Amino acid sequence: MQISVVIPCLNEEQNIKKCIDKCFASFEVRGIEGEVIVVDNNSTDKTAEIAASCGAKVVECTDIGYGFALRKGFSVCNGKYIMMGDGDDSYDFNEIPRFYNTIISSDCKMVTGTRLKGDIKKGAMPFLHRYIGTPFLTFILNLFYKAGISDVNCGMRMFESEVLNDLNFRTGGMEFASELFTTFAKKKLKIIEIPISLYPVAKGRESKLNTFRDGFRHLFYLVSALFI
């Protein structure tokens, strides 16, 4: 199998079908053998039922957190490459062929999207995140770890599944987005960025992000990981 797409979800019944449909459409367009793994992180709505009806493999993760959900999904992947992306339809899974074409035609181990060099649609990212939080955390990441990226918090990435055998993840929250980059950087695994679009999520949907709490957790991890 070529690609496993891992989508962590907490109450995404409004958008999960669109995400899964785009994944399978991308597989068909590119002629890819792939699977979609939806990690249900204690949803109280119909996320799991809808995902299963759309052909996704649904895995439960009772430890609440973005990192815990992704790590659970990674553990059951069968693909040579793992694609990760959110289940709120803010990322366009029609981009899968671009990520796949890039990683198979280069010597990199990860292809990550960059929203800051791409197209951020109106209302898709708060001002504080776009112009202060994400640039600052990205600066710290590059300063300490020489990762050479422009968007530390982009949640759309593809990487070789075999590299997970040499990585020991520790975090379970939103700071996992940073940990994934630091572990690759410490191992000197090459990362390539491609510009992507970011779309606003459905109106009325409650955000999973807490600007100051999650920002602090990212920063604390980036500093503390220097001593691990």
Q: Three-class SS string for the chain?
A: CCEEEEEEECCCCCCHHHHHHHHHHHHHHHCCCEEEEEEECCCCCCHHHHHHHCCCEEEECCCCCHHHHHHHHHHCCCCCEEEECCCCCCCCHHHHHHHHHHHHCCCCCEEEEEEEEEEECCCCCCHHHHHHHHHHHHHHHHHHHCCCCCCCCCCCEEEEHHHHHHCCCCCCCCCHHHHHHHHHHHCCCCEEEEEEEECCCCCCCCCCCCHHHHHHHHHHHHHHHHHC
* CA pair distance 140, 127, nearest whole angstrom: 19
CATH no. for residue 191? Answer: 3.90.550.10
Euclidean distance between CA atoms 4 and 76, whole angstroms: 9
Helical spans, DSSP H, in 105-205 = 127-128, 134-145, 176-186
* Structure confidence at residue 155 (pLDDT): 96
* pTM recorded for the entire structure: 0.93
93-106 tens-digit pLDDT: 999 999 999 999 99
The pLDDT, as a whole number, for residue 227 is 79
Judge whether residue 206 has pLDDT over 60.
no
DSSP letters of 11-38? S-TTTHHHHHHHHHHHHHHHT--EEEEE
d(CA 161, CA 163): 5
* 132's tokens: 């202060």
pLDDT at position 14 over 80: yes
Classify residue 179 by its DSSP letter. Answer: H
Residues in the chain: 228
Q: Residue 132: what residue type?
A: I
Q: Does 208 have pLDDT greater than 70? A: no
pLDDT at 210: 64
Residue holding tokens 């640039």?
Answer: 135
Does the pLDDT of residue 221 top 80, yes or no?
yes
| 71-95 residue pLDDT tens | 999 999 999 999 999 999 999 999 9
pLDDT of 26 > 60? The answer is: yes
Predicted pLDDT at 205: 55
- The domain in which residue 200 lies consists of 3-227
Pick from 100, 54, 99, 62: which is nearest to 196 by CA? 99
Residues 135, 193: Cα–Cα separation, whole Å: 15
Confidence of residue 207 (pLDDT cuts 50, 70, 90): low
Q: Which residue has the higher pLDDT, 157 or 166?
A: 157
What integer is the mean pLDDT of 32-58?
Answer: 98
Q: Which residues pair with 60 in a beta bridge?
A: 40
| Res. 34 pLDDT band, cuts 50 70 90 | very high
Model pLDDT, residue 195 = 98
Tell me the pLDDT tens digit for each residue of 139-154. Answer: 999 999 999 999 999 9
When divided into structural domains, the chain yields a total of: 1
